[in-house]
Structure 1
């Protein structure tokens, strides 16, 4: 079981959101970073919702090759941070399976409480966004949406193959929100844009936004994401 931080809604819980942190971070860390983005802005809501439970899991520690094999909280391993470098499929699948087990328990609890998978969103920042793309478009196609901030998929990602296989039997897929900083020196803007273009060429419906950010989360980006979240899973007073 992964450690996770949970922020309950102010009102009746009718939807859920799972937010995955970037490499080397924690659920508490990404939650704090998001809160800091709203400090001093006058926005009293922040990233809190009247009806949405926000869940911040922490990735399990494992050796991470880009850090010379040092232990870090990461969702999967990779050879290096590069668009053209193939995924380490075994690592992605193992980490995905571990997180899926957690998601299954979360989804099962939400469904038992009367919340359908279509009212559950998954997303994240950097590596967390990449993991969310794997989860939403490989394993949990019944979710309400996926978001990825400053994230990318490898050029030959297994996600694309999974979408093509899925199209043979069904057409519905989660909607997508992606955003990226044009000054990002770690995960290049072009990688995120190419990822979005390839996903949408395969039938994924979504939106892509650019900001004058480095490798970071920003206030304007979070406002736009917050609006998208509420559009995807609005406050259902009849549920």
Structure 2
């Protein structure tokens, strides 16, 4: 199976592909859309468009667009939107987020756990800037180090992460200011990892013997071991609501 298919299976029971509870997602969207409820929302790296669909369901005047390279995830997102009756207000684009353009700007732009697709935090914010309408806001989700990372953590995540203070400093250096934020709790982080590894394992155990079953069980076991022995004690996740500084 390809990486995208593995990811979809792993997020079956946690459709928000980030360590955030449903209540945290609701509150973050509510804050980001305050005063912008009848505007336009863009999710770059939207996956199954879970953020956009929830926002549309809560705000009848909102329109939303999502962009992602995973065609099957976008198809699942359309089904979810149709089920909730919001599909007419949602546009989904099968494209590399770095190549996404729009003639009309957006009042809220989301990039949750997707800065890697742009090559880092600063390039992500640089790409978002031209897409944002005056008075708009960005909801950015990014990993950071809670403490000194283990050697395995550095091997897994590379050198692109800073601590929380360093992450906020990088945001400010790029010309943005945080106006709200949420640091994911240990419970949220654990719930996400248990769901990721558990959903994939659960799916595999229902499959007949074969390469797909073996691959899913192996990836779930490897991921669980990396989490429990590598980055569980040091990895954090922050979601920042940002506005341009100038």
Superposition TM-score, scaled by structure 1 size: 0.34
Greater fraction of residues in helix: 2
Structure possessing the higher radius of gyration over alpha carbons: 2
Length-normalised TM-score, structure 2: 0.33
Structure showing greater relative contact order (alpha-carbon pairs closer than 8 Å, 6 or more residues apart): 2
